[in-house]
Structure 1
Amino acid sequence: MEDLTKLSSEQNAALVVLSFLQADCSNAEYGKAVLSLGKELTDAWIQSCDDDGAIESDGHLPCTSIAASIDDIEPLVELYWPGGRDEAAALQEVAAGLRVIAEQLQQQAVEQAARNLHRSVMSTPSDQWLDLLKCEVQRAMRQGVGLEQLPQERVMMALSLTLVKQVCEHAPRLLRGLFNTALQYISPPRAR
């Protein structure tokens, strides 16, 4: 698995979270919400790119060259990443590794934490969701999730994304807000 500290950009973190959330969408309404979120992210990234056809300062081709290829296609991370399939594959590998950890988490602790988070976000303003997510992750970690042999940063990231996914599968309308909350939680603070 790639070192998570290498994923410093907000876009990389968003792609990892999106890849994690889009896997195994069993709820049709949730699947539509993830698809919509993916298209929204793609549109935002395309709009932020140079439109003059020149190679960008980071060496990538302009995003507009991918715009035509992604319409009406089920979202996959490589479609959103302007850096190409190799970089997208690395991000998907990180998300897959987090899903493996998430599958190993003790189901009872995760289900209880997801119920607590769902109940809390339904009665709390969205600007407080980050604190609620942190609290539930810390509570579940204190209870013991059975993965003490793994790096705790990865376990906490997998647990937080699992909680977000479980809440959103039951309440897809919360996806955008909890997606942004998860990004705040797993992204390192920016230097100001």
Structure 2
Amino acid sequence: MDDLGDLASGQNVALVILSFLQADCGTSEYKNELLSLREAFNLTRDINLNGRRQDDGDLETDGHLFSSITAARGDVAPSVELQWPRNRAEEADLRQITNGLREIADQFEHNVVAEATRNLSRNISASPSEQWKDHLRWEVDRAMKRGVGLEHLPQERVIVALTLTLVKGVCERTPRLLRNLFDTVLQRFGPARAR
């Protein structure tokens, strides 16, 4: 992905893809699938300490035991965010790539994306997952040939943004397909992809 910066690691590619897919996600089922996928790639951190174990009964500054606070919060859903790299420059680069892809995706004409999403959804539901990569590539190529009006932008970025937009559209409709489509995108755009 020459135009996308240094995404040499599969972890960085996964982080950009997940960051793109989680923006403005709708249904709770889709959100749950995203959370499961982020955890599978170890790309999350629990920002409200739900996963933190401090059940040793330490006394807090207000005189209460920490374990009683933890027990009282037991029914609170974890609040997680993506685990960005510790290197601030690398994090900034990855966030910039993700934001650039979102800006490109926002520029697509709604009817092109809606039609392509319907076609992709129909095609992958009627074929084995081994063929999904071909269906995804074919639908992106078809939409690009129709002309999305973004010829002034780096075409590799446009292709990635369109691909992720289609995947997101399909997965919002059918969240259970997220993991397989995510793997398909990683195969296509990951650092070990065929050149």
Give the TM-score taking structure 2 as reference length.
0.77
For 2:96 and 2:50, how far apart are their aligned partners in 1? 21
**One-letter identity of the residue aligned with 2:130:** D
**Greater RCO (Cα-Cα under 8 Å, separation 6 or more):** 2
**One-letter identity of the residue aligned with 2:10:** E
User: 2:120, 2:136 within 8 Å by CA — same for their partners in 1?
Assistant: yes
**One-letter identity of the residue aligned with 1:74:** S
1:84 to 1:155, Cα distance in 2 relative to 1, 3 A: same
The alpha carbon displacement at 1:40 in A equals: 1.5
The alpha carbon displacement at 1:5 in A equals: 3.9
The alpha carbon displacement at 1:129 in A equals: 0.8
Q: Match of 1:52?
A: none
For 2:100 and 2:146, how far apart are their aligned partners in 1? 22
Q: Match of 2:40?
A: 40
For 1:189 and 1:41, how far apart are their aligned partners in 2? 17
Q: Match of 2:141?
A: 138
**One-letter identity of the residue aligned with 1:120:** N
**One-letter identity of the residue aligned with 2:20:** F
State the identity %.
51
The alpha carbon displacement at 1:90 in A equals: 2.5
For 1:110 and 1:144, how far apart are their aligned partners in 2? 11
Q: Match of 2:189?
A: 186
Greater CA radius of gyration, 1 or 2? 2
Gaps of 5+ in 1: 47-65
**One-letter identity of the residue aligned with 1:169:** E
Deviation per CA, 1:32-85: give whole Å up to 9, x if none: 11111111211xx79xxxxxxxxxxxxxxxxxxx789683643333x2x45355
Determine if the alignment matches structure 1 residue 92 to structure 2 residue 91.
no
Which of residues 104, 113, 117 is equivalent to 1:114?
A: 117
Determine if the alignment matches structure 1 residue 24 to structure 2 residue 17.
no
Higher mean alpha-carbon deviation, 125-134 vs 88-97, is at 88-97
Q: Match of 1:127?
A: 130
For 2:50 and 2:97, how far apart are their aligned partners in 1? 23
User: 2:3, 2:157 within 8 Å by CA — same for their partners in 1?
Assistant: no
For 2:85 and 2:152, how far apart are their aligned partners in 1? 35
**One-letter identity of the residue aligned with 2:172:** E
For 2:92 and 2:23, how far apart are their aligned partners in 1? 14
Give the TM-score taking structure 1 as reference length.
0.78
Which of residues 154, 162, 167 is equivalent to 1:164?
A: 167
Number of residues of Structure 1 aligned to a counterpart in Structure 2: 167
1:150 to 1:26, Cα distance in 2 relative to 1, 3 A: same
What does residue range 52-91 of structure 1 map to in structure 2 within 5 Å?
71=51, 73-77=78-82, 79=83, 81-84=84-87, 86-91=89-94
1:11 to 1:123, Cα distance in 2 relative to 1, 3 A: same
1:92 to 1:82, Cα distance in 2 relative to 1, 3 A: closer
Determine if the alignment matches structure 1 residue 9 to structure 2 residue 9.
yes
For 2:140 and 2:96, how far apart are their aligned partners in 1? 23
Gaps of 5+ in 2: 52-76
**One-letter identity of the residue aligned with 2:150:** L
- Alpha carbon RMSD of aligned pairs, Å? 2.5
Structure whose residues are more often helix by fraction: 1
